[in-house]
């Protein structure tokens, strides 16, 4: 069972009782919420399957563009779990939107977490790039067996693209924010890889475990509290780098903001947030070719 923490930001955090692990549990599962991602979903699943992800638990927020037809073509039945998950829910008393993503993540741990050694909670514009080793399991050795790993966003901007270029996202975009740890607007945050049978509290960007509370490790094993992980010396991308292809082309960013955000009723608020974030990224970029080099060296098949 999970319960909503009574606070101003409803469902920002959920307390859960961890599931008991199955005998012989193994591998890494990726959990994500998905809506109308037909343009890019094949590349995303092919890349992650190519680096050793065993299973994809995807929560479908009413897709209508054939996203899941593509997934069923690319992935075997045993590699994919799809959960219908309409996310625009409000609290009756306050009228505030509930964070359906947090609820989905808690649901995934409670219902599917017992089968896997690790679960990664990311979005479909985020890629887990092994920097030390060929697979994510290889790269996770850098953090030892710590049950809660925090990976900072490496935010990529337009890279000069006005309209959508041909080819994969992860090969077309090479310019990212120079300092992933600088605390600025919505351009700085973390996503997590956890041992699901240890998790006692769930959030979109942070988790807690029964053995270590709010303490988390970076990819090289340095441990810090949730607050301390924001310090510059927590930064590491030695073993795993989380690439967040936030903006894509200028035209696609415009389309993204016009669609709005599933967890916010204000289109203007969302537009202001995205505009400020991309402005910050574009003013502080460096070239990063690590993804291109990894894909080429390891022959990762990204599809069309």
User: If we measure between CA atoms, which residue out of 28, 31, 30, 5 comes closest to residue 16?
Assistant: 5
pLDDT above 80 for 3? no
Candidate from 64-73, 84-93, 153-162, 267-276 with smallest mean pLDDT: 267-276
**Range 42-50 average pLDDT:** 98
pLDDT of residue 89: 82
Structure confidence by residue, pLDDT tens digits, 132-180: 999 999 999 999 999 999 999 999 999 999 999 999 999 999 999 999 9
Of residues 146 and 93, more confidence is placed in 146
pTM, full prediction? 0.93
pLDDT above 80 for 6? no
Structure confidence by residue, pLDDT tens digits, 248-285: 999 998 887 776 665 555 667 777 888 889 999 999 99
DSSP string for residues in 137-206: HHHHGGGTT-SEEEEEEEEE--TT-SSPPSS-HHHH--EEES-TTS--TTS--EEEEE-GGGEEEE-SS-
pLDDT above 60 for 244? yes
Q: Using alpha carbons, list the distances in angstroms from residue 6 to 94, 96, 202, 288.
A: 12, 13, 14, 42
pLDDT of residue 140: 97
pLDDT of residue 2: 41
**Range 44-66 average pLDDT:** 97
pLDDT of residue 7: 38
Structure confidence by residue, pLDDT tens digits, 94-143: 888 888 899 999 999 999 999 999 999 999 999 999 999 999 999 999 99
Q: Domain 26-298, what architecture? A: Alpha-Beta Complex (3.90)
pLDDT above 70 for 299? yes
Candidate from 2-16, 170-184, 197-211, 273-287 with smallest mean pLDDT: 2-16
Q: Where are the domains of the chain?
A: 26-298
């Amino acid at each position: 069972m999970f319960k909503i923490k009574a606070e101003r930001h409803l469902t920002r955090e959920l307390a859960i009782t961890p599931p008991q692990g199955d005998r012989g549990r193994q591998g890494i599962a990726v959990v994500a919420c998905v809506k109308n991602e037909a343009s890019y979903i094949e590349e995303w699943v092919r890349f992650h399957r190519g680096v050793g992800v065993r299973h994809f638990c995807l929560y479908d927020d009413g897709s209508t563009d054939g996203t899941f037809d593509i997934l069923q073509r690319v992935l075997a039945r045993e590699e994919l779990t799809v959960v219908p998950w309409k996310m625009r829910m409000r609290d009756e008393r306050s009228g505030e939107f509930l964070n359906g993503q947090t609820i989905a993540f808690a649901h995934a741990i409670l219902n599917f977490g017992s089968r896997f050694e690790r679960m990664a909670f990311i979005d479909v514009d985020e890629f887990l790039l092994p920097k030390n080793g060929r697979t994510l399991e290889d790269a996770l050795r850098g953090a030892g067996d710590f049950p809660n790993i925090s990976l900072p966003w490496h935010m990529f901007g337009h890279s000069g693209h006005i309209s959508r270029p041909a080819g994969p996202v992860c090969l077309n975009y090479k310019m990212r924010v120079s300092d992933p740890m600088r605390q600025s607007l919505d351009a700085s945050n973390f996503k997590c890889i956890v041992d699901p049978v240890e998790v006692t509290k769930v959030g979109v960007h942070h988790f807690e475990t029964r053995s270590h509370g709010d303490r988390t490790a970076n990819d090289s094993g340095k441990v810090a509290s949730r607050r301390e992980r924001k310090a510059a010396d927590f930064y590491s991308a030695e073993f795993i780098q989380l690439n967040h292809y936030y903006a894509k082309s200028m035209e696609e960013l415009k389309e993204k903001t016009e669609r709005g955000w599933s967890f916010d009723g204000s289109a203007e608020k969302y537009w202001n947030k995205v505009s400020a974030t991309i402005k910050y990224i574009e003013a502080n970029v460096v070239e990063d070719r690590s993804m291109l080099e990894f894909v080429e060296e390891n022959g990762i098949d990204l599809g069309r």
